[in-house]
Amino acid sequence: MADQVVLVRHGETAWSRMLRHTGRTDIPLDDAGRDRARALQPVLAEIEGIEAATVATSPLSRARETCALAGLGDRAEVWPDLAEWDYGEIEGRRTDEVRDEHPGWSVWTSDVPGGESLADVVARAQRVIARLDGIEGLAVLFAHAHLLRVLGATWCGWVPDGGMHLRMDPAAVSRLGYEREHRVIESWNAVPDLVRRAAGANR
């Protein structure tokens, strides 16, 4: 089994900057997102075992481009289960816009009309974990905020909506691992200094 899993959220896009739900719409990285992705390269290069790591990415271009700009695209596998939550009729909308029609709505606790349920996304996260169980050493996964938050919660065996308590910023790096036989979060939502500087240069 993978003894450590590094999770990387893709860099910024025009929609993520506006906090729009971006599921299967294939929005590319914006300039700031590309800068953040490039800034990840020296950070990931310092991780022990990165040379032999299994690298996987969502099929969506914003994750694949982040992987490539971070220096790992030449050996990345596409795992369809790493795609972002299918938001159905909520796609492209902000939570506050949806709440104008449905007070208190949350992707974590409410129906997603025409899209995936939380249980559907958890099932995909479980398939990713089962795949990780067949890998030795380090795995690095490039994907999306909600999918990775569900994956982190599922890794720890938390209740299905536990991911709501795990914030994940663009180009953030998180680590999953083990303490003895227990699956743990080793670090979460770390935005490396180089990434912060790249973001600041674009403001």
Please list the active-site residues.
Answer: 10, 84
User: What is the distance between the alpha carbons of residues 200 and 203, in angstroms, rounded to a whole number?
Assistant: 5
Structure tokens at 84: 């972002």
Structure tokens at 61: 């271009």
